[in-house]
Amino acid sequence: MLEERGYRYRFVSNTTSKCRSTLAKFLCEMGFEIPGEHIFTPAIAAAERIRSDKDNKCFLLTRPDVRRDFEEAGIPLAEEEVDFVVVGDAETDFTFDRLNRAFRLVMGGAEIIALEKDRYWMGSDGLNLSAGPFVYALEYATGTMSEVVGKPSPDFFDMALAEIQASPREAAMIGDDIDTDVGGAQNAEMKGILVKTGKYREDVAEYSNVIPDLILESVAELREYL
């Protein structure tokens, strides 16, 4: 629909449990034919951030599948003596041993890069803890602050916009999280459109300070506004 009408776009996801190619396959199975290069995730943003210095090494506290994005970017991955600890949605890999290793690495001088700081995400069986609670735990334990590279970081939106050569005022973000998607986009000077599907919760939206530029029952309604 977007390409047919001449719109440039990026599928901007805060998903941090899948690499870009896996996410493309997942979307294809759902009926969305989105090329991998049109998908922009926090892992891609983090890889760009880390490889600014080719000697940077990082420890990944993520799902194994995400390693592929870092390996393809040429980022050296290690378990000791690293420059960055990267935290994403590690799901069942958020074990005490892995968290404690991350804690010790940060205490040894590594910086924390948070792929996202979401509180939760919607799975097929209901709400699940996301990376945010674990990032905050590391910040509290180490007395340091993380650098967030995913939504709602303005830099994340700016990097995605750069890929489609668009300015913030030419773009809109469509998402189901009123704070991360809509609020983050508005802070980056984009329009923020809220869809009442996915992880959308009416009680959360009601008490949020964010006012969407537009609210849709589903993304299918977008046709009326293009």
Model confidence at 204: pLDDT above 70: yes
Q: What pLDDT band is residue 225 in, cutting at 50, 70 and 90?
A: confident
Q: What pLDDT band is residue 220 in, cutting at 50, 70 and 90?
A: confident
How many angstroms separate the Cα of 134 from the Cα of each of 107, 137, 195, 197?
Answer: 16, 5, 27, 26
Taking the C-alpha atoms of residue 21 and residue 144, their distance in angstroms, rounded to an integer, is 33
Q: What pLDDT band is residue 200 in, cutting at 50, 70 and 90?
A: confident
Angle at 94 between CA 52 and CA 48, to 5 degrees: 15
DSSP letter (8 states) at residue 220:
G
* pLDDT value, residue 1: 66
Three-state SS across 78-92?
A: CCCCCCEEEECCCHH
Residue 91 near residue 129, CB atoms below 8 Å: no
First to last CA, the chain: 9
* pLDDT value, residue 170: 94
pLDDT in tens, 41-95: 999 999 999 987 778 999 999 999 999 999 999 999 999 999 999 999 998 899 9
CATH topology match: 1-164 vs 167-226:
yes
pLDDT in tens, 84-137: 999 999 988 999 999 999 999 999 999 999 999 988 887 888 888 999 999 999
pLDDT in tens, 21-34: 999 998 888 888 88
Taking the C-alpha atoms of residue 225 and residue 157, their distance in angstroms, rounded to an integer, is 22
Domain 167-226, CATH homologous superfamily name and number: HAD superfamily/HAD-like (3.40.50.1000)
* pLDDT value, residue 124: 81
Domain 1-164, CATH homologous superfamily name and number: HAD superfamily/HAD-like (3.40.50.1000)
Q: Where are the domains of the chain?
A: 1-164, 167-226
Angle at 199 between CA 193 and CA 205, to 5 degrees: 55
